[in-house]
Amino acid sequence: MLFHDDLSMNNILVDSHGHLTAVLDWECVSSVPTWRAWQFPQLLCERIRDEKPNKSTYADDSTEGNASEDPEIDNEGFWVKEMQNAQPEWVAVMRASKLKADFERAVQACDSALGGGMVRRWIECLNDGWPKDLWTMMHSYPQTDEMDETGHVRMWKEVDH
């Protein structure tokens, strides 16, 4: 399956009416197995916020703001629900291959100091029996003030996606 690995908001251009005008950054597009391509789209992945955005701190650009960062909007839940209706097989493959996808993320992330540290912590979580996934760890803000029942500091917000 043809797969654009960096299909993020930074690489999709739309006009003032919201119509797609271009998709950028095609140099790393590749053919991948279905389980790799059928994961939650990066386009809808934003940092998980612990508090509601304060719009008064945003620049006035005469738009409605960034809906993807609104805590009232559940991009993942919406996407999975729509895909379940349109193509249930997609959701089944995504859920069944979550650990494979995390290992792929680990390979991609381990070549940097920040990513390598996160991968090491993810492996520690797996070894300790925490039902963490690397996606959650990569898309959450650190939670350094919480401890689990064994005394480990909980570093990432628990999120079920």
Element housing 3 (H / E): strand 2-3
Give the tokens for residue 108: 């991609």
Residue holding tokens 């996160």?
A: 118
Q: What are the CA-CA distances from residue 44 to residues 10, 57, 73, 98, 122 (Å)?
A: 12, 23, 11, 17, 22
In tens, the pLDDT along 74-96 reads 677 888 899 999 999 988 998 89
pLDDT value at 68 more than 70: no
Token pair, residue 17, equals 């009416």
- Give residues with Cβ within 8 angstroms of 121, minimum separation 6: 137, 155
List pLDDT tens digits, range 113-136.
778 888 888 888 888 887 677 877
